Amino acid sequence: MLKETNQKVELMGWKGPKKSLATDESGYREVLANLEHSVYAIAMSQGTGLSNLGSPAAKGDALMGYAPPVRAQDLGDPKFAETFGVEYAYFAGSMANGISSAEMVIALGKAGIMASFGAGGLDMGQVALSIAEVQKALPHGPYAFNLIHSPNEKALESGAVDLFLKHKVPVIEASAFLDLTTSVVLYRVKGLKQGEGRVIIQNKIIAKVSRREVAEKFMRPAPEALLGQLIVEGRITEKEAALARLVPMCDALVVEADSGGHTDNRPLVNLLPSMLSLRNDIQEEMTYPNPILIGAGGGIGTPEAVLGTLMMGAAFVVTGSVNQACVESGTSEHVRKLLAEAGMADVIMAPASDMFEQGVRLQVLRRGTLFAMRAQKLYDLYIKHKSIDQIPLAERTKIEKQLFKKSLDDVWADCVTFFGNRDPAELAKAESNPKKKMALVFRWYLGQSSHWAKSATAGREMDYQIWTGPAMGAFNDWVRGSYLEQPENRKAVPVALELLGGAAYLARLRGLELQGVRFGASVSACRPRG
């Protein structure tokens, strides 16, 4: 190893106990995995020696390379930990229908890891109960609740925000937004106040986006038109609106690449640099006191993916699919077993229930279910016909028997009951618009399919809708042969710490490689350690 001075370059040495030097690959792994201690690579006559002991010296054994301590807590931007009161630059993103459950949020929160409860798709009573459960276990956090964009059910989105404000939920994860709404702006702006020469933000937002145009909306202050509307409605004050013009709409932004659920299947290596550049340009223009933190998710299922994402400049990493396979998730054991068997290619795109009419698609498991093919069939019928009555009798009979397993008239009766309680405005539109009625009937199947999967409804296995991305298959490949291979051993906290610990291990390994210290394949293959 070289030491540069003003006059010359000097070769550094190492002084330490010779007995501490590891000389084989098993020993190398142990030294590198001792994350809280430095690593010294020493040139020896029989090869390379590694040690956690000793120190650099002007004279001594030739020092080939050095790696400082790198703990899991040291990865990412420390501002993320400071902003959200966590220990790690790791965020377990939400999965709707309570799949990212209160149990999971609490387990991760107690370990100093931020997680978001999957409030999407649940009624407000269920969400309120979950808020109470999480707040009782984590009175000081960290935790977040998901706010999913609901353009077809605006009352649902506004009702969720009212609930979050009522119960003082300190952080929300805003996902699937196509544009800003009065609801998400209300959450952000409510309670803004001036203090100690800065704007104090009561309600933090982690925005999950995959498009630059949407990201820019969250990176800038709330739009004047929406602020004006909220003032007129008496939902915010003039003072809150004035302060809103000084802060961005989010504290952190998740660049969502090829993920499970709603996704544009964007490659992270292209999307993340673009978003970082956008953030830097807006920060230069707006000069926020606290620059927006940019994290990334979609495809994060191995330590290599964690390290690569952070090395590209992400402040934190976001996981989703791998958490659904954990025992704390709010899905069924059957689903967890299917996920544990999935390969990277066992995923497929399918129409989304919540934005069916807009043609929005999401990524689901293909292996062990026919949901994607059947959902696509319904969307094709929706595009082709103007009403249910226009569907040919043979086609209608087929989907009634195979997909719905009841008549479409009976399904419509279920829709009347459901939307009568949940969003009567949607029902009113459908009663005067045959194509809207057809959409609600078809959405019944898409909506029920995720609940069938969650509850392991017998006889509906081929209709299970299971949101996941290629990260699941990558994770399964990584844990094969380890204690995490079996679904019953997968717990959210150990999974997070194994991914982060593996990334820290690899960070030291790559640092030594950059100094010319090379190792065999078995040293590079960091596996879960338990």
Regarding whether 80 and 66 lie in a shared domain, the answer is no
pLDDT for res 160: 96
pLDDT for res 2: 46
Q: Which amino acid appears at position 90 of this protein?
A: Y
- CA distance linking residue 423 with residue 137, whole number of Å: 32
Domain membership of residue 390 as a residue range: 338-463
Pick the last residue of a domain from 294, 316, 331.
Answer: 331
Torsion angle of the four alpha carbons 42, 43, 47, 52, in this order, in degrees rounded to the nearest 10 = 0
Pick the last residue of a domain from 331, 357, 373.
Answer: 331
- CA distance linking residue 430 with residue 153, whole number of Å: 13
408 C-beta neighbours (distance < 10 Å), count: 20
- Cβ-Cβ contacts under 8 Å for 340 (sequence gap 6 or more): 325, 476, 485, 486, 487, 490
Regarding whether 266 and 139 lie in a shared domain, the answer is yes
pLDDT for res 10: 47
Residues lower than pLDDT 70 in the chain: 1-11
β-strand partners of 206: 173, 252
In angstroms, the Cα distances linking 429 to 158, 420, 435, 529 are 19, 12, 10, 56
- What ranges in 89-237 are assigned the alpha helix state H? 102-110, 124-137, 154-166, 182-189, 212-219, 224-232
The H or E element containing residue 146 is strand 144-148
Q: What does R_g of the chain's alpha carbons equal in angstroms?
A: 26
Regarding whether 506 and 433 lie in a shared domain, the answer is no
In angstroms, the Cα distances linking 185 to 235, 423, 519 are 11, 22, 52
Regarding whether 40 and 115 lie in a shared domain, the answer is no
110 domain-assigned: yes
Long-range CB contacts for residues 521-527, cutoff 8 Å, separation at least 24:
522/25, 522/29, 523/25, 523/28, 523/29, 523/32, 526/29, 526/33, 526/303, 526/502, 527/478, 527/479, 527/481, 527/482, 527/502
Q: Which two tokens stand for residue 208?
A: 């999950």
490 domain-assigned: no
Are the C-beta atoms of residues 246 and 199 closer than 8 Å to each other? yes
**At 128, is the secondary structure helix, strand, or coil?**
helix
480 domain-assigned: no
- Rounded to the nearest 5 degrees, what angle is found at the Cα of 302, between the Cα atoms of 300 and 306? 60
Regarding whether 48 and 144 lie in a shared domain, the answer is no
Regarding whether 254 and 187 lie in a shared domain, the answer is yes
468 domain-assigned: no
Regarding whether 355 and 263 lie in a shared domain, the answer is no
Regarding whether 382 and 520 lie in a shared domain, the answer is no
How far, in whole angstroms, is CA 252 from its chain's centroid? 12
Q: Beta strand pairing status for 317-319 and 252-256?
A: unpaired
269 C-beta neighbours (distance < 10 Å), count: 12
Regarding whether 307 and 255 lie in a shared domain, the answer is yes
Verify cis geometry, omega within 30 degrees of 0, for the bond prior to 528: no
Could you tell me the CATH number of the domain that includes residue 178? 3.20.20.70
- Cβ-Cβ contacts under 8 Å for 520 (sequence gap 6 or more): 25
- Cβ-Cβ contacts under 8 Å for 23 (sequence gap 6 or more): 44, 46, 47, 48, 49
Placement of tokens 């050095």 in the chain: 66
- Cβ-Cβ contacts under 8 Å for 71 (sequence gap 6 or more): 35, 36, 504
- CA distance linking residue 195 with residue 200, whole number of Å: 6
Placement of tokens 């696509």 in the chain: 376
pLDDT for res 155: 83
44 domain-assigned: yes
Pick the last residue of a domain from 331, 355, 377.
Answer: 331
pLDDT for res 412: 95
Placement of tokens 């430095």 in the chain: 38
Complete edge-to-edge strand list for the sheet that includes strand 361-365: 261-262, 361-365, 347-351
- Per residue, what are the HEC states of 301-351? CCHHHHHHHHHCCCCCEEECHHHHCCCCCCCCHHHHHHHHCCCCCCEEEEE
Regarding whether 261 and 383 lie in a shared domain, the answer is no
- The count of domains in the chain is 3
271 domain-assigned: yes
Regarding whether 325 and 403 lie in a shared domain, the answer is no
Are the C-beta atoms of residues 61 and 292 closer than 8 Å to each other? no
Are the C-beta atoms of residues 138 and 171 closer than 8 Å to each other? no
β-strand partners of 145: 117, 172
Are the C-beta atoms of residues 523 and 28 closer than 8 Å to each other? yes
Regarding whether 198 and 66 lie in a shared domain, the answer is no
pLDDT for res 8: 41
DSSP structure class, residue 401: I
**At 64, is the secondary structure helix, strand, or coil?**
strand
β-strand partners of 2: 11
Q: Which two tokens stand for residue 469?
A: 């991305």
11 domain-assigned: yes
492 domain-assigned: no
- Per residue, what are the HEC states of 412-479? HHHHHHHHHHHCHHHHHHHHHCHHHHHHHHHHHHHHHHHHHHHHCCCCCHHHCCCECCCHHHHHHHHH
pLDDT for res 57: 85
